[in-house]
């Protein structure tokens, strides 16, 4: 009779443990999806960072060209004023 009680306790413990494991496994799929989403975002951020660096170089080049153009305009204005 005592063995039946011990066996019932063990079976109930195993059922509780299996239910807990199934719950955790269910949550892992959600975590996996979140991890994949974060990795995708990280890749997108790296691409955007590269594009931003290229854009920054383009802006620096345009600033240099604008400065050169302003200097040429100043020279032209000085030449016209001196005539």
In this prediction, residue 82 carries a pLDDT of: 56
pLDDT value, residue 29? 86
What is the pLDDT, as a whole number, of residue 83? Answer: 53
Per-residue DSSP letter, 76: H
Residues 11-58 have pLDDT tens digits of 999 999 999 999 888 888 888 999 999 999 999 999 999 999 999 999
Is residue 49 included in any domain, yes or no? yes
Give residue 15's pLDDT. Answer: 94
Task: Report how far apart, in Å, the C-alpha atoms of 24 and of each of 32, 35, 38 are.
Answer: 12, 16, 21
What φ, ψ does residue 80 adopt, rounded to 5°?
-70, -35
pTM greater than 0.85: no
**Residue-range definition of the domain harbouring residue 53:** 36-83
**Does residue 81 belong to any structural domain of this protein?**
yes
Residues 38, 67: Cα–Cα separation, whole Å: 43
pLDDT of residue 70: 95
Query: Does the residue 2 lie in any domain?
Result: no
Domain total in the chain: 1
Buried-exposed string 6-18: b where 16+ CB fall within 10 A, e elsewhere: eeeeeeeeeeeee
Would 12 be classed as within a structural domain? no
């Amino acid at each position: 009779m005592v063995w039946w009680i011990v066996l019932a306790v063990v079976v109930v413990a195993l059922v509780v443990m299996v239910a807990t494991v199934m719950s955790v496994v269910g949550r892992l799929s959600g975590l996996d999806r979140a991890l994949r989403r974060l990795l995708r975002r990280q890749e997108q951020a790296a691409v955007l960072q590269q594009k931003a660096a290229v854009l920054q170089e383009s802006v620096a080049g345009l600033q240099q060209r604008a400065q050169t153009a302003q200097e040429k305009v100043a020279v032209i204005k000085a030449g016209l004023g001196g005539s």
